[in-house]
Structure 1
Amino acid sequence: MQTKKRKSPSLRFRGYTDDWEERKLTDIVSRLSKSSNNSELPKIEFEDIVAGEGRLNKDVSHKFDDRKGILFESQNILYGKLRPYLKNWLLADFKGIALGDFWVFKSINSDPKFVYSLIQSNHYQKVANDTSGTKMPRSDWKKVSSTDFPTPSSLEEQQKIGSFFKQLDDTIALHQRKLDLLKKQKKGFLQKMFPKNGVKVPELRFAGFADNWENIKFKDILKTYSFRSYLAYPSDIGKYEVIQQGNNPIVGYSDGTPFMDYKDIILFGDHTVSLYKPQSPFFISTDGVKILSADNFEGNYLYTTLERYKPDSQGYKRHFTILKNQELWFTRNMEEQKKIGSFFKQLDNTISLQQKKLVLLKDQKKALLQKMFI
């Protein structure tokens, strides 16, 4: 039995009941191709766009040169046809020139914000990502332009949908800017709250502390623990966390006898240069996770010190040897250590909360795109 094709989305603005119409992409946009090398117009390249977020990662207002590309106007849509799964798209709010593998769309008989939302919908993305080639896949214009896309016949409904997603994008961008600012502030504090080379006190310090800091190498203070007794295969059930290296440390759970004395322990990813401070007894998933502590170092302060002085990633290699030979400045004053550690812990909690808000907004947008388009 053939399933009846749905003719309207599951979530709509009140007052709209008409079925959506099947329209070719070329019925709602014209694809621009006028080339220009105007050296007074800003240029846009793939790397200028934050993938999947429809915003620029830099100010391009003065990015001038005489390279030739496709001329676009405000409210035109730039869609990256090269490797479309990267989601390089932008609703322009200025006039410029698109360089490289972009399609540039101008809305016709349609609302540009709606069209911009449509190209982010599952239906369009499925068609655009049906590519040939492996190293340099590109969307097929013939395939995309000949596909029917359900579209509201009412321009007013289009405008409501487009404005709704524009407001949601603006909210996401605002939260992203807040997150970026918090991370930038943290980076600045890490620089100012530890002494610079040749200086024995930090530039920024809590009141009441005046002693000089000391210079030493990590190998002179770090204690390592044998990992063999605490290796565990992660599963979905178990009482204790199993930790891996990388940005997603909790890989699963396990039962047994874990590492118990976790209070001032820091886990260092030998290959990834990641850091994790466990909050409860734990297991580890691989010998690449180094179990570390340091005598007379408060746990949060040790974490912050490692974060300040850990080496830059050099690919998939052992970084612990590099870390051990890294010099650091530290204070022996335990009260000062606690204040610094607590300060950065609170800052990390604020950053984590902001990241969760951002993820939630992006998940909400993804769900709404599924429900508000066919």
Structure 2
Amino acid sequence: MKPNNHNNLKVLFALTLVHFTGDFYSAFTTPLFPAFMAKLNLTLAQVGLIAGVNRFLSFIVQPVAGYLADRYQGRAIILGGLLMAVVFIPLSGIAGSFGMLMLFIALGSVGSSLFHPSVAGMIPLYSGNRKGFSMSVFNTGGTLAFAVGPFFITAVVAAWGLDAMPLTMAIGLAVMAYLWVAVPSPKSEGMAALGLMGTLKKQFGTVWKSIFLIWLVMVLRAVVGQSFMTFMPVLLVSRGYSLISGGLMITLFTLAGTASGLMAGYLADRAGARPIFLVSHLLMTPALLTMLSLSGSWIYGGVLVAGFFVLATLPLGVTLAQELAPGGRSMVSSLMMGLAYGLGGAVAPVVGRLADLYSVATVLWAISFIPLVTVPLILMFPRGYQNTAVG
């Protein structure tokens, strides 16, 4: 199925709502770790294992889901995956053991990973000539969910306890009743007769170098973003800020990225993706270094500016890769989002170990220079949303 020249706002809204709803429930787990620890007497090692399994599943499941979505029609991957997130993550509140908690969170994580490639792959089909902006709006659904979800679930648990979490399923199930009507079936790209290698060859062909370069930049950006979102709150608390300040930092960082993602998508539709990548990555390093040097209330302004540049290009990498490989929109979406995110998160233990040896501030200072390493790679990108390979 080829994209239209006109966008379909109803479908775009429904796909963005899928993204928001799934990520809304996915955002429940991390802020509740202290409550799970108190209820089940978990160790920090067990908490780390849960977080690691969550990231590992997003690393493994999304490319597989993207591969299947490009080969077969049907909404089972989308709605079935969303249903798993809506049901199993709230059930974690009534888990009576570490094993049961791990099972519920793992199943919910698999569900969240399943629907992402399919819905992201459908965005270009209904966005007309506004592909960059439409992908940015879609991405906003996820970033807003990760900003709102923690506040919502911590308020619920603070008021009624972990046992009340299953009641939150009602919200997601009500949304799914609407999505059952509004979400169209994805269209197969006609690759069901091809094996894995045949599919990859047909999807990527001569553009694999460009796809790899974009993916590598997305991985390095994810390393920077996730390192700061994970360890910046730790640094703030060590400097005398409250735990609430650390949580506020994550929210401000994410909301700033939401705004910049929308702006980046709008500008990329007019100027191409490469200039936006260059500006964002060139300014990312000074923004991060400035944030690390600030103190008092100024730190929150620094967080906003840093988040603005760090998260700006997330939707652009997906859109650019989809244009290069239009026959594998779901697969490339999974590579640019799920696989890049998973690898970016996989370095967290290494970053943590280095922080133990050299201090959090020193390691984050060093990580701030990674965006400059990506600049030569960005200069090799195609000039815009064009089917142009790197030579």
Calculate the TM-score normalised by the size of structure 2.
0.27
Q: Which has the larger helix fraction?
A: 2
Higher relative contact order (CA 8 A, sep 6+): 2
Q: Which has the larger strand fraction?
A: 1
